[in-house]
Chains A and B, each alone.
Chain A
């Protein structure tokens, strides 16, 4: 089944403790992206990647890192999480950057 998977689905952590949220797609898509979703603000793009080793900032990149060492994986790294990064995070992929994006199931992160 073609899909985007994320892990973990739920995570509660404390301020400053580094964490990684994994994202994987099995559709051989070139483009992958991370979004955060907050009430009243909709989906905002954090980072995106056009292909392996090619990443770029979205609208809200501060406090996040990403890497794209393999085509199928696009992990989101929070080196020192803070409470304002409590949010619902979605990974998405598309065949190219201009075609429709397919979303993962989401990761709900709480930073205490």
Chain B
């Protein structure tokens, strides 16, 4: 079945640094979503991508839909302490309503 690899699994960064994470799929996706989950809460949608090559920003967050349609990237610029949490990617292939989720990137910011 479809698999989604998300990396890195976790990262410690200094406040003010930029962060990059990515997801790769074993098959082509039509949609990529990026979520953030705080402890004890549900995932909150950050960015949705619907077209290959699409680059979308949401404040300090920027995500891209890879041109091969098998990957997506999320960048966070000038990280701040409230960026701490787990970031998930999710992808949907063609002809299905099912989203596959990555296992998450746990981000920890050192002040």
Chain A positions within 8 Å of B, measured between CB atoms, are 4, 31, 35, 40-45, 48, 50, 58-59, 90, 97-106
Contact = CB atoms under 8 A, between A and B. Distances in A.
30 contacts: A31-B97, A35-B101, A40-B103, A42-B88, A42-B103, A42-B104, A43-B43, A43-B88, A43-B90, A43-B101, A48-B98, A58-B98, A59-B98, A90-B42, A90-B43, A98-B30, A98-B97, A99-B48, A100-B33, A101-B45, A101-B90, A101-B99, A102-B45, A103-B43, A103-B44, A104-B42, A105-B41, A105-B42, A106-B41, A106-B42
Interface string B79-100: 0000000001010100001110
B98 A103 contact: no
B69 to A, nearest CB: 15
B40 interface: yes
Given A58-B98, A106-B40, A106-B42, 14 more contacts: A4-B42, A43-B88, A45-B99, A98-B92, A99-B48, A100-B45, A101-B33, A101-B99, A103-B42, A103-B43, A103-B44, A104-B42, A105-B42, A106-B41
B102 interface: yes
Contacts of B88: 42-43
B7 interface: no
Ranked nearest first, the 5 interchain pairs of A and B with the lowest CB-CB distance are A97-B97, A103-B42, A43-B101, A42-B103, A100-B48
B27 interface: no
B31 interface: yes
Contacts of B40: 106
Nearest to A102: B45
B41 A42 contact: no
Contacts of B42: 4, 90, 103-106
Contacts of B90: 43, 101
Contacts of A40: 103
Contacts of B31: 98
Most buried by A among B1, B44, B99, B101: B99
Interface in B17-67: 30-31, 33, 35, 40-45, 48
